[in-house]
């Protein structure tokens, strides 16, 4: 009886367990389906955000051409009068560039956006060229970027004198020669001589308020003297100018210097007569290097999005340096992050709540963006690794990772194409974009409405049909291969056949050695 009961009971239980099991299976299936639907709808929303962003960032050839023309127009306006354009077009007082004849021992200090470098070089004239050079690099302690002027220049002086103290036997000063320094200072400065100038404003995350308006050469000179050393700062050099000089030392065709690093900027060799706002004498060479401060370039043709607006509002210099904020290494990663934040908030692509660190400005650095962008593994494991390491985000699907890569691609491509348009704008301004007939002197057509015909009056040697070399420096250009390729592609798109005569050459650490070369060509003690 008991057995029969047991049997009946157990068979009933089996039936019930079976029902429960199938109900559980149904529920699990429902959860899976609903999760899949949720993931699909998240991906759908994320894709929509991506598409909208891609559209807003789109830089077709026609738009790039407008940026080229706007750049050339603004360059002209900035040369005519002080404040004539957002492009400051600062005369650098550099009217002769190194040509290989320089001899002796020279130093350079290079304050960029991230790193600080000290360098020494022994020059041996045309036959010896660069006999020996040494340099050291230190990261700038972040607290100094927001501290006082004395602290900052004291740090630079300390690093410089300790480097000088380690000068080896291979480096030799001439009898009676002082150590002369080229000071590369990569922030906007209004120069008053080749070796003095006041800081106009900070960029790239620096905010040392009491230094604004100060003569940065005098500040460094004081720092050196406080440490009991005697050295002369022979040239104050913007990093673009250093890069230009470093390139020109080896190659006469170098006309333009560009930096694509933490920040971005360009300089070029202009006819002194075209600098209408220049009140000084026309230099013997007839030329003047102009520091454009192109990071501050602005034009309504630039593709501005919600990302650029919020980034600008939260930056240390709102309303300023809009071009730089679309192009340079300090900002590209943050542009990507802002799109990801939107996707995380509106499409929950990284789950709920939104990872806290993702909301932190500048938490995604451009080198990490570049790592994700270059990930060519089939399951995008580098993307997964970066998201996990930086934000603690786990378990992303390959589909979501692909969207992240597409965001990186959009931001990178836009920045690179705009940088290319900037370079072509300069080429156009100096008549080297291949659109002028070779050797024909053109009148300035600035007043004409047809901007495609825009050129300044161009001396024959500027349109000789020869090569024009752009000396380029900066970690973004050097390390971000896809950025570099997109930029090159856009230059070719813009110049067509003419691009064969334009060469962009990496002039690695050119800004440091260029400053030392300029110290040599502007030295107090000239060795013949």
**Residues between 261 and 320 that touch ligand ADP (CB under 6 A):** 261-262
**Residues between 46 and 105 that touch ligand ADP (CB under 6 A):** none
**Residues between 28 and 87 that touch Mg ion (CB under 5 A):** none
Q: Is 239 a catalytic site residue?
A: yes
Phi, psi of 345 (to 5 degrees): -75, -40
Binding of ligand ADP at residue 112 (CB under 6 A)?
yes
Strand arrangement of the beta sheet that strand 130-139 belongs to: 130-139, 115-124, 103-111, 179-185, 231-237
Which residues pair with residue 270 across a beta bridge? 288
- List the structure tokens of 187: 């922030």
Binding segment toward ligand ADP, per CB under 6 A, in 57-65, 110-118, 195-203, 516-524: 110-118
Binding of Mg ion at residue 112 (CB under 5 A)?
yes
Q: 152: Cβ–Cβ under 8 A, 6 or more apart, which residues?
A: 144, 145, 208, 211
Binding segment toward ligand ADP, per CB under 6 A, in 156-164, 312-320, 363-371, 489-497: 363-371
- List the structure tokens of 267: 């300089």
Q: Is 417 a catalytic site residue?
A: no
**Displacement of CA 372 from its chain's centroid (Å):** 19
Size, binding site for Mg ion by CB under 5 A: 3
Binding of ligand ADP at residue 431 (CB under 6 A)?
no
Size, binding site for ligand ADP by CB under 6 A: 16
**Displacement of CA 52 from its chain's centroid (Å):** 25
State the Cα–Cα distance between residues 163 and 175, nearest whole angstrom: 21
Q: Contact letters (x/-) for ligand ADP, 312-351, by CB under 6 A?
A: -----------------xx---------------------
Per partner kind, with CB cut-offs from 5 to 8 A, the member of ligand ADP, Mg ion, none near residue 479 is ligand ADP
Residue placing its CB nearer to ligand ADP in the complex, 46 or 292: 292
Per partner kind, with CB cut-offs from 5 to 8 A, the member of Mg ion, ligand ADP, none near residue 182 is none
CB of 373 vs ligand ADP, minimal distance in Å: 9
Please calculate the CA angle 251-517-126 and round it to the nearest 5 degrees.
55
Consecutive H or E run containing 79? helix 61-80
Residue placing its CB nearer to ligand ADP in the complex, 324 or 456: 324
Residue placing its CB nearer to ligand ADP in the complex, 107 or 171: 107
Binding of Mg ion at residue 295 (CB under 5 A)?
no
CB of 241 vs ligand ADP, minimal distance in Å: 14
Per partner kind, with CB cut-offs from 5 to 8 A, the member of ligand ADP, Mg ion, none near residue 367 is ligand ADP
Nearest alpha-carbon partner for 290 in 75, 523, 442, 515: 75
Binding of ligand ADP at residue 482 (CB under 6 A)?
no
State the Cα–Cα distance between residues 119 and 205, nearest whole angstrom: 24
Among 96, 304, 479, 482, contact with ligand ADP (rule: CB under 6 A): 479
Q: 27: Cβ–Cβ under 8 A, 6 or more apart, which residues?
A: none
Binding of Mg ion at residue 333 (CB under 5 A)?
no
Burial level of 413, CB count in 10 A (0-12/13-18/19+)? Answer: buried
Q: Return the number of other C-beta atoms located less than 10 Å from residue 313's C-beta.
A: 9
Alpha carbon distances (Å) from 251 to 98, 100, 286, 311, 507: 10, 10, 19, 39, 11
State the Cα–Cα distance between residues 218 and 405, nearest whole angstrom: 47
Binding of ligand ADP at residue 475 (CB under 6 A)?
yes
Q: Is 222 a catalytic site residue?
A: no
Just list the catalytic residues. 117, 186, 239
Q: Which residues bind ligand ADP (CB under 6 A)?
A: 112-115, 261-262, 329-330, 366-367, 370, 474-476, 479-480
């Amino acid at each position: 009886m008991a057995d029969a009961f047991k049997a009946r009971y157990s068979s009933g239980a089996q039936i019930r367990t079976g029902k429960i099991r199938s109900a559980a299976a149904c529920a699990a299936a429902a959860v899976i389906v609903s999760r899949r639907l949720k993931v699909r709808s998240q991906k759908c929303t994320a894709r929509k955000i991506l598409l909208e962003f891609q559209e807003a960032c789109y830089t077709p050839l026609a738009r790039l051409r407008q940026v080229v023309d706007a750049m050339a127009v603004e360059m002209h306006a900035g040369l005519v009068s002080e404040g004539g354009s957002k492009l400051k077009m600062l005369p650098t007082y550099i009217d002769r560039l190194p040509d290989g004849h320089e001899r002796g021992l020279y130093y350079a200090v290079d304050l960029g956006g991230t790193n600080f470098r000290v360098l020494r070089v022994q020059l041996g004239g045309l036959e010896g060229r660069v006999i020996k050079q040494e340099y050291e690099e230190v990261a700038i302690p972040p607290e100094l970027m927001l501290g006082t002027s004395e602290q900052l220049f004291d740090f630079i002086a300390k690093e410089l004198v300790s480097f000088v103290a380690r000068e080896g036997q291979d480096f030799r000063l001439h009898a009676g020669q002082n150590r002369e320094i080229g000071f590369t200072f990569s922030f906007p400065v209004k120069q008053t001589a080749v070796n003095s100038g006041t800081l106009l404003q900070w960029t790239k995350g620096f905010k040392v308020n009491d230094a604004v308006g100060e003569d940065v050469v005098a500040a460094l000179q004081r720092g050196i003297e406080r440490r009991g050393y005697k050295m002369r700062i022979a040239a104050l050099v913007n990093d673009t100018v250093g890069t230009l000089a470093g390139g020109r030392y080896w190659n006469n065709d170098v006309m333009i210097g560009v930096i694509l690093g933490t920040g971005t900027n360009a300089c070029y060799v202009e006819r002194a007569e075209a600098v209408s706002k220049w009140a000084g004498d026309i230099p013997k060479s007839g030329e003047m290097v102009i520091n454009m401060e192109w990071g501050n370039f602005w034009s309504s043709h630039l593709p501005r999005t919600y990302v650029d607006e919020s980034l600008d509002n939260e930056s240390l210099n709102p309303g300023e340096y809009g071009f730089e904020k679309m192009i340079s290494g300090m900002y590209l990663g943050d542009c990507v992050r802002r799109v990801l934040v939107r996707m995380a908030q509106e499409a929950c692509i990284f789950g709920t709540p939104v990872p806290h660190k993702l909301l932190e400005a500048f938490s995604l650095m451009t080198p990490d963006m570049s790592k994700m962008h270059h990930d060519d593994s089939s399951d995008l494991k580098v993307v997964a690794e970066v998201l996990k390491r930086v934000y603690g985000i786990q378990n992303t699907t390959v589909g979501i990772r692909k969207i992240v890569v597409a965001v990186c691609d959009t931001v990178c491509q836009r920045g690179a194409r705009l940088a290319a348009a900037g370079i072509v704008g300069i080429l156009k301004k100096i008549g080297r974009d291949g659109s002028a007939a070779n050797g024909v002197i053109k009148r300035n057509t600035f007043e004409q409405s047809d901007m495609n015909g825009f050129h300044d009056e161009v001396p024959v040697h500027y349109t000789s049909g020869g090569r024009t070399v752009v000396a380029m420096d900066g970690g973004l250009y050097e390390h971000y291969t896809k950025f570099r390729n997109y930029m090159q592609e856009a230059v070719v798109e813009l110049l067509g056949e003419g691009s064969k005569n334009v060469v962009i050459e990496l002039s690695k650490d050119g800004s440091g050695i260029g400053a030392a070369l300029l110290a040599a060509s502007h030295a107090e003690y000239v060795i013949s």
